[in-house]
Amino acid sequence: MKKNEILILDFGSQYTQLIARSVREQKVFSRIMPFNVHIEAIKKLDLGGIILSGGPCNVYQRNAPLPDERIFDLGIPVLGICYGMQYLGHQFKGHVKKTDKREYGYADLLINSNTDLFYGLPKKIQCWMSHGDHISRVPNGFERIAHTKSSTIASIRSKNKLFYGVQFHPEVKHTPLGKKIISNFLFRICKLRPDWTPRHFITQSIEEIREKVGKGKVVLGLSGGVDSSVAAILLHKAIGRRLTCIFVDNGVLRKGESKKLREVFKRNFKINLKMIDAERGFLRELKGITDPEAKRKAIGHEFIRVFQREAKKIGKVDFLAQGTLYPDVIESVSFHGGPTATIKSHHNVGGLPKKMKLKLVEPLRELFKDEVRLVGRTLGLPSEVVDRQPFPGPGLAVRILGEVTKMRCDLLREADAIVLEEIKKAGLYKKIWQSFAVLLPINSVGVMGDERTYENVCAIRAVYSSDGMTADWVRLPEDVLARISNRIINEARGINRVCYDISSKPPATIEWE
């Protein structure tokens, strides 16, 4: 069991994952659960504190999301953020009501007491507000410790100094000293230890894998990406030769993936590895499908079918291992009835057939991508694996808009390889979260030499991100874009027009499908 934890109860805030990351960045493990998680489940955790997230609801409305009030009987500190603070006001008989003027954006926070939550901070700091309700009367047993020009009660604490509330968002970068506030909560108030490190995670994961797997055998899909590679090494360290890795060439991989994977893992690691050419079967399952979700489901089902078939060939296998990450879980399914919305299914999570015969082991499902990279480096994985940009489970199938065919896959592979080559030449590869090509389901008129052409349109996508939850488009240098466009049109026969995607996430997603 993890020690020294912070539990974040999710009320549907767009910033809930940022709270989790802010805590983890200070080497304290955090986990997110829905606001209505049962108190007995909370008691099973070794908690040092609880954070109540923000949310879009009004605390006084009918059927407002409210947690089990017995969290206040656990004897541990609680920090409410935005809606979380309003809930504290509501629970302890303060008064919460709509503001006369909604407060959104930057505000100057005037600190009345800097002895604990605001320890070491100046009397005035910048903060980020986003609320339409406010506490108009301090709740019973509490006192005001900060205010703004518009919010006379912008932060509160209980007089026994266990419960705290802030109306603003310390977890976002728009509150420059927000990390210090969270640090004060973790270490001055909750008295936690900054001991959640990659090495700590590795040691703990190996123990958990051994406990779960027992004497069983595990099969894992090794794609060569950082997620599956780190999962493979963790499992190999835990159970050795009882792990078999299977690389499935599903026909929707990038150019040269099979060769690269064979070279890297043959050179660096002594892992049981089977290479399976399944391109024909996957493309057959994708034939005629244009709906993105249907593509994901088709690939997920075929993936499991191939694995079950190959598992039979290597004897009795008990577990299927996957490199599922925390954002996969967050984006794929709502939190057990909680308020977080479903965005898309993921073949590692939402697309698994109900008749799957293998049990799952997912050693990375509580990590964000950057944390996986840190673990990978600690495990000794080479840079070409650890620093590899994320690649979606459904591969090029969700980067080919419309039907997926071998001809369209081959065309996109060429264009995509050019994008990566030029990004690397420009020294931008490690600075960018993802950069890739997308094949659009339209043709456009062009002129090559003295001839008219009517060929495919390709879009280029490059984004900055830290975990894939939010992203901003990269302002690529004009000369880099020019080289990419020129090379694609000249070398990827069948494309005569290149466009650049300048949308951020949200409102767009990183992938086009």
pLDDT at 214 over 70: yes
Following DSSP, what letter does each residue of 193-233 receive, concatenated? -----HHHHHHHHHHHHHHHHTT--EEEE--SSHHHHHHHH
Tokens (6 digits) for 359? 């049990």
* The pLDDT of residue 355: 53
- Cα 505 to Cα 30, 32, 95, 472, 501, distances in angstroms: 24, 22, 36, 6, 12
Residue indicated by tokens 């090029």: 396
The pLDDT-based confidence of 339 (bands split at 50, 70, 90) is very low
pLDDT at 291 over 90: yes
Tokens (6 digits) for 415? 């264009």
Give the residue-averaged pLDDT of 410-425.
97
Lowest mean pLDDT, pick from 20-29, 329-338, 377-386: 329-338
Instruction: Please name every residue paired with 75 in a beta bridge, in sequence order, or none if there are none.
Output: none
pLDDT tens digits, 52-85:
999 988 888 888 999 999 999 999 999 999 999 9
* pLDDT: which is higher, 459 or 443: 459
The pLDDT-based confidence of 420 (bands split at 50, 70, 90) is very high
- On whether the CB atoms of residues 283 and 251 are closer than 8 A, the answer is yes
Alpha-carbon span 198 to 290, nearest angstrom: 41
Instruction: Please name every residue paired with 456 in a beta bridge, in sequence order, or none if there are none.
Output: 443, 495
* The pLDDT of residue 62: 86
* The pLDDT of residue 308: 77
Give the residue-averaged pLDDT of 419-443.
95
Our CA dihedral for 167, 173, 179, 180, rounded to 10 degrees, sits at: -80
Q: What distance lies between CA 342 and its chain's CA centroid? A: 14
Lowest mean pLDDT, pick from 202-211, 331-340, 439-448, 504-513: 331-340
pLDDT at 351 over 60: no
Alpha-carbon span 274 to 512, nearest angstrom: 31
Give the residue-averaged pLDDT of 385-395.
88
Give the residue-averaged pLDDT of 293-300.
92
pLDDT tens digits, 19-39:
999 999 999 999 899 999 999
pLDDT tens digits, 215-231:
999 988 888 889 999 99
- On whether the CB atoms of residues 271 and 243 are closer than 8 A, the answer is yes
* The pLDDT of residue 366: 87
pLDDT at 192 over 50: yes
- Percentage of the chain lying above the pLDDT 90 cut: 64
- On whether the CB atoms of residues 112 and 153 are closer than 8 A, the answer is no
Give the chain's mean pLDDT. Answer: 89
Alpha-carbon span 492 to 448, nearest angstrom: 13
Alpha-carbon span 443 to 495, nearest angstrom: 9
Give the residue-averaged pLDDT of 343-350.
42
The pLDDT-based confidence of 382 (bands split at 50, 70, 90) is confident
Please state the three-class secondary structure of 234-299 as a single string. Answer: HHHHHHHHHEEEEEEECCCCCCCHHHHHHHHHHHHCCCEEEEEECHHHHHHHHCCCCCHHHHHHHH
Residue indicated by tokens 């299977």: 246
For residue 116, the number of C-alpha atoms closer than 13 Å in the C-beta half-sphere is 20
Residues carrying an active site annotation: 82, 169, 171
Beta strand 5-10 pairing with 243-249: unpaired
pLDDT at 1 over 60: no
* The pLDDT of residue 277: 92
pLDDT at 353 over 60: no
* The pLDDT of residue 131: 79
Number of H helices, E strands in the chain: 14, 18
pLDDT tens digits, 122-171:
999 999 998 778 898 999 999 999 999 888 999 999 999 899 999 999 99
Q: State yes or no: cis peptide before 507, omega within 30 of 0.
A: yes
The pLDDT-based confidence of 336 (bands split at 50, 70, 90) is very low
Give the residue-averaged pLDDT of 396-412.
96
The pLDDT-based confidence of 197 (bands split at 50, 70, 90) is very high
- Percentage of the chain lying above the pLDDT 70 cut: 93
The pLDDT-based confidence of 350 (bands split at 50, 70, 90) is very low
pLDDT at 481 over 90: yes
The pLDDT-based confidence of 303 (bands split at 50, 70, 90) is confident
* The pLDDT of residue 342: 39
* The pLDDT of residue 217: 92
pLDDT at 352 over 50: no
